């Protein structure tokens, strides 16, 4: 078993936008015996720190983008697609996406990866998903859950618009709508009539499981 990589070195790889190094740290974290979620912790701290530097004007958008790509490279290794493996033991069907106008997808990808790893069948529509596309997927796929991610205060309002559209089109009864993303709160979820909110991917899985059992 190899040694666990130094979290400071992981952080630096993400801040440098070094996807190759980030991926190799992800691999060595797993080889050292860490669970994927444990291994992810320093990567999440690093991408949040990149956001802080961006906030302070010390990082520019292309640098943030490089950091995000390095983060995704690590996530691809930590959470390879388990959809095929989990399809036969599906606990429920999920249609997921980042809402219209919003291109952030790291958090949504993580929620999808953990739901998939926990036996849910996940149809990931990607990022900047139009409200009409969510409606069409709800009609076609008949999911048990819609997972709506929003990272911008300007796009979280589209979560409400989609819930209103689902209600108007009489599609709300058979699908539970889960909302999340950094600016989203449980108060917001209640205000817009969502079925649930969770602050992170692990608790998103707990939430979906508890709603299925309710």
Q: Is the dihedral of CA 26, 59, 202, 151 positive or negative?
A: negative
Whether the CB-CB separation of 107 and 194 falls below 8 Å is answered with: no
Backbone angles phi, psi at 146, to 5 degrees: -105, 130
Closest to ligand B12 by CB, 5 or 79:
79
Within residues 151-210, the interface with ligand B12 by CB under 6 A covers 151-154, 178-183, 197-198, 200-201, 204
Examine residue 94 and tell whether it contacts ligand B12 (CB under 6 A).
no
15, 39, 44, 78: which one binds ligand B12 (CB under 6 A): 44
Q: How far is the CB of 139 from ligand B12 (least distance, A)?
A: 20
The reply to whether 144 sits near ligand B12 by the rule CB under 6 A is no
Strands 176-180 and 145-149: parallel
The gap between the terminal CA atoms of the chain, to the nearest Å, is 42
**Closer of 2 and 153 to ligand B12 (Cβ):** 153
The residues near 21 (Cβ < 8 Å, ≥ 6 apart) are 13, 70
Which residues of this protein are in contact with ligand B12, per CB under 6 A?
A: 44, 47-48, 50-51, 54-55, 61, 64-65, 68, 101-108, 110-111, 147-149, 151-154, 178-183, 197-198, 200-201, 204
């Amino acid at each position: 078993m190899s040694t666990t990589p130094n979290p400071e070195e992981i952080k630096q790889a993400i801040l440098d936008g070094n996807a190759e190094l980030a991926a190799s740290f992800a691999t060595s974290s797993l080889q050292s015996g860490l669970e994927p979620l444990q291994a992810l912790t320093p990567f999440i701290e690093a991408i949040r720190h990149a956001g802080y530097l961006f906030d302070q004007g010390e990082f520019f958008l292309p640098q943030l983008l490089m950091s995000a790509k390095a983060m995704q490279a690590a996530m691809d290794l930590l959470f390879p697609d388990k959809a095929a493996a989990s399809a036969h033991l599906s606990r429920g069907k999920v249609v997921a996406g980042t809402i219209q106008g919003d291109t952030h997808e790291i958090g949504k990808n993580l929620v999808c990866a953990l739901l998939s790893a926990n036996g849910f069948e996940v149809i990931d529509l990607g990022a900047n998903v139009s409200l009409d596309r969510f409606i069409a997927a709800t009609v076609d796929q008949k999911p048990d859950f819609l997972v709506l991610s929003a990272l911008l205060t300007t796009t979280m309002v589209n979560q409400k618009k989609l819930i209103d559209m689902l209600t108007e089109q009489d599609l709300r009864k058979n699908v539970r709508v889960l909302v999340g993303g950094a600016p989203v709160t449980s108060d917001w979820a209640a205000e817009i009539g969502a079925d649930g909110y969770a602050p992170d991917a692990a608790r998103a899985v707990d939430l979906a499981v508890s709603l299925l059992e309710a």
